Amino acid sequence: MTYKQRLSMFIIIDSFIVLAAIFVSHVLIGGNLDMVTLPILFTAIVILLSHHSLSFHFKLYKKAWEYASTGELIIILKTAFASISIALLFQLMMLDQVNIRLLTVTGLLHILLIGGSRFCWRIFRDSIMQKDDKKFRTLIIGAGSAGTMVARQLIKNNDTSLKPIAFIDDDRKKHHLDILGVPVIGGTEQIVKAVEQYQIENIVIAIPSLRKKELNTIFQECAKTTAKTQIIPMLEDLMTGKVSVNQFRDVQVEDLLGREPVHLNIDSISQYISEKVVLVTGAGGSIGSEICRQIANFHPKKIIVLGHGENSIYSIETELKMAHGNATMEIIPEIAELQDAKKMMSVMERHQPDVVYHAAAHKHVPLMERNPEEAVKNNVIGTLNAANAASWHGVKTFVMISSDKAVNPTSVMGATKRLAEMIIQHFDETSATKFVAVRFGNVLGSRGSVIPLFKKQIERGGPITVTHPDMVRYFMTIPEASRLVLQAGSLAKGGEIFVLDMGEPVRIVELAKNLIKLSGYTVEEIGIEYSGIRPGEKLFEELLNAEEVHEPQVFPKIYIGKTANLFMNDIEYLIDHYENMDKEQIRALVLSIANKKTEAKPIMSISS
Sign for the CA dihedral angle at 297, 301, 305, 311 comes to positive
Where would I find the H helices in 227-364?
A: 235-240, 266-273, 286-296, 310-323, 341-351
For residue 371, what pLDDT band results from cuts at 50, 70 and 90? very high
User: Is the bond leading into 353 cis (omega within 30 degrees of zero)?
Assistant: no
What are the residue ranges of helices labelled H in 330-477? 341-351, 365-370, 372-375, 382-392, 412-430, 450-459
Rounded Cα–Cα distance for residues 528 and 510 (Å)? 11
Run of H or E residues at 3? helix 3-30
Reply yes or no on whether the pLDDT at 243 is more than 60.
no
Whether 524 contacts 478, CB under 8 Å = no
- What's the rounded mean pLDDT across residues 511-534? 81
Diameter over CA atoms, the chain: 131
Which spans in 157-197 are helix H?
A: 191-197
Measured torsion, CA atoms of residues 204, 455, 283, 426, in degrees rounded to the nearest 10: 100
Does the pLDDT at position 147 exceed 70? Answer: yes
* Burial class of residue 554 (count of CB atoms within 10 Å of its CB; 0-12, 13-18, 19+): middle
Report CA-CA distances (Å) from 209 to 236, 247, 255.
Answer: 9, 16, 12
Angle of helix 38-57 versus helix 100-124 axis, rounded to 10: 40
Half-sphere exposure of 6 (CA within 13 A, CB side): 9
pLDDT tens profile 276-301: 999 999 999 888 998 999 899 888 99
Question: For 233-255, what is the HEC assignment?
Answer: CCHHHHHHCCCCCCCCEECCHHH
Instruction: Please choose, from the candidates 534, 533, 531, 535, the residue with its C-alpha nearest in 3D space to the C-alpha of residue 591.
Output: 535
Whether this prediction's pTM lies above 0.75 is answered by no
Go through the chain and tell me how many residues it has: 608
pLDDT tier at 98 (50, 70, 90 boundaries)? confident
pLDDT digits (tens, 9 = 90+) for 546-603: 555 555 655 666 677 765 678 899 999 999 999 999 999 999 999 999 888 544 443 3
Amino acid at 504: E
CB 605 within 8 A of CB 572: no
Q: What is the pLDDT of residue 338?
A: 93
Question: Pick the residue with more confidence: 213 or 230?
Answer: 230
Q: Residue 200 above 80 pLDDT?
A: yes
The top-scoring range by mean pLDDT among 68-77, 369-378, 484-493, 497-506 is: 369-378
Average pLDDT over residues 468-496: 78
The pLDDT tens digits of the residues spanning 329-355 come to: 899 999 999 999 999 999 999 999 999
- pLDDT at residue number 601: 40
Q: Which of 168-182, 266-280, 338-352 has maximum average pLDDT?
A: 338-352
3-class DSSP state of 563: coil
Q: How many CB atoms lie within 10 A of CB 473?
A: 20
**Burial label, 279 (beta-carbon count in 10 A; 0-12, 13-18, 19+):** buried
Report whether pLDDT(247) > 50.
yes
